[in-house]
Amino acid sequence: MSSRNNQEGVIVEIRAGTGGAESALFASNLFRMYSKYAASKGWKQKILESKPTEIGGFKEIIFELSGPNVFSEIKNEGGVHRVQRIPKTEKKGRVHTSTTTVAILAKPKKATIQIRPEDLRIDFYRASGPGGQYVNKRETAVRIIHLPTGLMASSQTQRSQAQNKENALAVLEAKISEEKERKDLESLGKTRKAQIKWAKRSEKIRTYNFPQNRITDHRIKKSWHNLEEIMDGDLKCIIKAFRKLEN
């Protein structure tokens, strides 16, 4: 088993994609699904950044999970998740198709990623709420840009500037580590790449079809018909299917 599989910390990014309000609501559903699975495993969870919508969805939510073998269990969740269902806002009963993207970033150990302070641009601004209105009079929100790569991370969930800076740095370190690994992978031969199967964020990996009570994972061409249980955090069947394939 690789050191990444033994990783005890991951950062999960969930972002609304195509589908507007419905996509943001599904982002919230996915966050709940991973949170409930994490609770069942006894993993710790910490929200690093969130951009809620007025009707209970998320344009984006980034959180950290830590616990034994967390990376090996969650690593296959990265990619585009497609949902087919009748949105709450749909008056004619039509099924809509929306997408939400998930990125799984292995949290690097402190010694593995060295970021020079002069390579960072740090901006402070006022945190805003779901409707765009400012929710804090002080500039506690933090945005950090890594100048050599152009990678960016922000946080506004905490009340203190220092805590938000710490959260944003954690996300940035994970993104830099992922970018380095992606570049290392590109320099390898095709055979090795095929073995590692780097998961691109743009790849559609799974469809959640609510009218037919079916979840299909397109990578392993397997379906499950217990959609509600899976959405309620029971991911064991999916994780088991991938583990069987890997073994």
- b/e burial code for range 178-193 (CB count within 10 A of at least 16 → b): beeeeeeeeeeeeeee
What's the maximum distance between 2 C-alpha atoms anywhere in the chain? Answer: 56
Indicate the domain borders of the chain: 9-109+196-246, 117-186
With a cut of 50, say whether residue 161 has pLDDT above it: yes
What value does the mean pLDDT of the chain take? 85
177: its two tokens: 């580590």
| Residues 105-140: tens digit of each pLDDT | 888 776 567 788 899 999 998 877 765 555 555 678
pTM of the full structure: 0.78
pLDDT above 50 (res 1): no
Give the Cα separation of 98 and 134 in Å (integer): 29
CATH of domain 9-109+196-246: 3.30.70.1660
CA distance 192 to 189: 6
Q: What is the CATH number of domain 117-186?
A: 3.30.160.20
Per-residue pLDDT at 5: 54
CA 146 from centre of chain: 20
The whole-number pLDDT of residue 114 equals 79
pLDDT of residue 198: 43
Instruction: Confirm if 164 and 157 have CB atoms less than 8 A apart.
Output: yes
